[in-house]
Structures are given as structure tokens and as C-alpha cells.
Amino acid sequence: MEEFLTAHFWIAVGQIIMIDILLGGDNAVVIALACRQLPPNLRTKGILWGTAGAIVLRVILIAFALTLLQIPFLKIVGAVLLLWIGIKLLVPEEDEDHSNIASSDKLWAAVKTVIVADLVMSIDNVIAIAGAATGAGSQHQLPLVIFGLLVSIPIIIGGSQLVLKLMDRFPAIIIIGGMLLGWIAGTMAHTDPAIKHLLPQDPSWSYGLGVAGALLVFTAGYALKRRKTQGA
């Protein structure tokens, strides 16, 4: 129980919530599109059941990811993917086309659509959240993941439009989020079983690699954003 009162636990919870908001912005759109043809009295049920199914599936995927990240070199691979995800977050992209999201007037067909679409879209979330949980050094990683996801659900569903407006108004939020992914990538690579014995397992090294990852995301993201803007 004391583990849940430590600063590491709550820092990791904050990271998971921020990751889920930044990388899960499209989830609310998918839910709305999948349930748009349901009768009004079934839409709330469709949203709740679809979201519940998607979250359960995501927890299962993250549980597997937490286990797989103990295999040598997989944390390094995950760190590289996180760096790329963080850089992409800083580079403006064209609006994604969600026209291929099929809607249905049947409750369980809509629920299935939400779950399948969330599964396809959640790979980056799973990697990032697993990295945040392992980087926290917690002995209760799966409860940490579940708690963080549960807290982020109402934020994503109920406040996604507000969050998106805040991101548009304060671009620094997105920059901080991308650098956070770089930080997690650096600290995660530091604990990879393949190189753990080669590096001093000192907090200063972990922080140093985290800072390096954050700066790499910022620098590469800024350079690509500038190039894309000039090209446009």
C-alpha cells in the first residue's frame, strides 16, 4: 500500500494520463463516428460499452508489453519507436480521414467497431504507457497502468474537445508531451537487460539519458517542422 503513496507512482500516473490524452485524441472521434447511427437511447450505452471493451483490451496489451519489455533489446526498440512517436507529435500533419470508420444502427456492431478501431490506433499508446510504467520503478506496474487509464477515460471522452482546443491555443502542451515521450525513451533504454550491465545504474545516468531523449525529440521535431513549413 505504501507504494501507492510514493512520488514515483504519482509521477508515472501523470505521465500515463498525459500520454493517453496526447496520443488518444482520435479515440473520441472514432467513438462518435461508430455510434452516430445508433438510436439516441442507445448511444450512451454504445459509447460506454465500446470504451469499456477498448480499455480492457488495451490493459491486456499493456500487460503483455510489460512482460515483453524484459526481453533483451526490446526496450531499446521501444525507445526508438517512442522517439519517433514523439518527433511525429511535433510535426504538423494533415487531418486524418476517419471516413472509413463504419457506423451501425445495431448496438453491439457499433461496440465492436469501437473496440477494433481502438486496437488498431493504440499501438503507440501501449508502447508509451508500458515505458512510463517500467520507468517508474514500481513493483505494482499493472495496477499503475489500470489506474492511469481509468483516470484518463473521462478526460478523453468528456473533455477531448476542450483538450484539443487548449493544445491549439497553447502549442507548448504538445511540445512538452513530445519531450516527455523522449524522456521516457531515454530512461527505458537505460534499463534494457541487454545493456544494463554495461551502464552505471545510477539515477543521474537515467536522468541524463532522459534529458538527451527529450532534447533529441525537440531538436528533430523542430527541424522537421521547419522543413515541412518551408516546403509548404
pLDDT digits (tens, 9 = 90+) for 97-139: 555 555 566 777 777 776 776 666 666 677 777 877 776 555 5
Q: How many domains does the chain have?
A: 1
| Banded pLDDT at 208 (limits 50, 70, 90) | very high
Query: Which is it for the CA torsion 138, 139, 142, 148, positive or negative?
Result: negative
Residues of the domain holding 177: 2-231
Residue bearing cell 526481453: 71
User: What distance in Å separates the CA atoms of residue 214 and residue 222, rounded to the nearest whole number?
Assistant: 12
| The pLDDT of residue 215 | 95
**Can you give the pTM of this predicted structure?**
0.70
Strand, helix or coil for residue 201:
coil
- C-alpha–C-alpha distance, residues 69 and 181, integer Å: 16
Instruction: Tell me which amino acid residue 187 is.
Output: T
Give the Å distances, CA to CA, from 161 to 23, 45, 109, 186, 203.
14, 21, 25, 31, 38
Torsion, CA 136, CA 28, CA 161, CA 219, rounded to 10: 50
Mean pLDDT, the chain, integer = 76
> What digits encode the pLDDT tens for the residues 195-206?
888 888 788 888
Answer for the pair 193, 72: CB distance below 8 angstroms, yes or no: yes
